[in-house]
Amino acid sequence: MISDFEFLPEVESGGLGIVHKARHKQFGYYRAIKQIKAQGDDANARRDFEQECEKLTKLSNGQHPNIVQTYGGFQEEGGRAYLEMDWIDGKTLEDYCTRDGFIPIDEVLRFVQNTASALAYCHQQGIIHNDLHSKNIMRRDSDGVYILLDFGLAMENGEVIRTSRLDCGCPEYMSPERVKIELLLLPSLQSAEPTNLSKAMLEELRKATPQWDIYSFGCLIFKALTGEAPFYRLNKSEEEYKKVLKQHIESEPECSSRINETRQTAFQKAHPGLDFTPESCPGWLIEMTAKCLSKDKEHRYPNAQAFLDEFQKYLNNSNWNLEEENTGLRYRLQKVEAENIELNKDIAHLRALRKPIRINIWWKWATTIVVCLALFSNVIAIYYSVMMPARIIAISIFSALTLIAICVYETIWPKRDTNEQDNNQ
């Protein structure tokens, strides 16, 4: 029952629902509760919700580690529908890219492998996600594993997309096939030019295929490598929305040159002083990304399993180890080594500054010797009964002892500090 949970502040709001973090009142565990916006009298919304629950139950029954675990949906008396899922402590790919600017290549490869594996499982079950974008991929903090979320727009393979589901999703990640449907069927986007498509051809165009997900996945890989989607909006205006949609159909993302240039700039910003090497972005990954982003779906991978098989082959030949717990280790190690070099330079500079101080103390020793000779002459004078004021003798003794203490401190202690530093290194 939804009444068993205490709702915490809203986490995410989308076109179809709102996601809350919720705590079970009795047992204290946390869940993500998706609350459907439409009320119970909306037949389309109820049907979409029931289908999402059905698809998620089919996919996220704990059999795949990269798909969010779902515990089922329920409706309250008021007609409001809810969906209970695992709460994942972590950040979305969008947050990760925004925060870090540059993602180490072994982390990118882990993301690609995890997401491709989740998509391959979906395609094997006959499910097209149909809404892949950077906020629907979560990186779990505890182990760095990527989790695929939000099946609200998911479709069966070959299912015809309904008009009620158009104008949903993120335009930066839509496939050209989805874009053509949007441009043809949405009144706000329809062109004044008449279309030559027959009803049968239009119905065929609206049938979902795994290549829709493959194109969106290529956009996600591009985002992980560069920090930005191949085509993106400068603002949320309708003009920018239309511009991005048309770019998916008409423009080429120029993967090779753009990925290398953008990634090199981001690398140098994140790791100043370090060299960008070819290992920082393997060419075979760029080629696979370009194939995913082909305008003609027949030139893309037929499904995610075909992509994953080729990716794994390249990965094995490259000797990458994605089982390491510390991602980005090579870059962080290089950075630490560079910082150690700078630190050693600073230590050497400080030692050089100390040498004149140790040389200049010899004048103190000379002064001490003079005072000691004066003190010795005073003692001789007293011995031969040459009367001198006791005050002068006391001052001489005090001055000699003070100078001796200063000289001993300046001579012995700096040398001791230097020896301790050498031993620590």
The predicted structure's pLDDT at residue 33: 85
Q: Give the whole-angstrom CA distance, residue 22 versus residue 87.
A: 8
**Higher-pLDDT residue of 207, 72:** 207
For the domain spanning 2-86, the CATH number is 3.30.200.20
**pLDDT of 115 higher than 70:** yes
Range name among 91-95, 204-208, 383-387 with the lowest pLDDT average: 383-387
The predicted structure's pLDDT at residue 188: 55
The predicted structure's pLDDT at residue 119: 94
The predicted structure's pLDDT at residue 312: 92
**Higher-pLDDT residue of 219, 130:** 219
**Higher-pLDDT residue of 408, 238:** 238
Q: Give the whole-angstrom CA distance, residue 175 versus residue 131.
A: 10
Confidence of residue 324 (pLDDT cuts 50, 70, 90): very low
Confidence of residue 110 (pLDDT cuts 50, 70, 90): very high
Rounded average pLDDT over 22-28: 86
Confidence of residue 86 (pLDDT cuts 50, 70, 90): confident
The predicted structure's pLDDT at residue 417: 46
- Count helices and strands (H / E) in the chain: 13, 10
Which one-letter amino acid corresponds to residue 118? A
Extract the tokens encoding 307. Answer: 């992509």
Q: Across all residues in the chain, what is the average pLDDT?
A: 75
Looking at domain 90-327, its CATH superfamily turns out to be: Transferase(Phosphotransferase) domain 1 (1.10.510.10)
**pLDDT of 52 higher than 50:** yes
pLDDT in tens, 248-295: 988 888 777 788 888 888 777 777 777 776 566 788 999 999 999 999
The predicted structure's pLDDT at residue 192: 43
The predicted structure's pLDDT at residue 59: 72
Extract the tokens encoding 192. Answer: 């004044």
CB distance 51 to 33 below 8 Å: no
CB distance 15 to 30 below 8 Å: no
Rounded average pLDDT over 144-156: 84
Rounded average pLDDT over 382-395: 60
Residue 352 half-sphere exposure toward CB, CA atoms < 13 A: 6
**pLDDT of 300 higher than 80:** yes
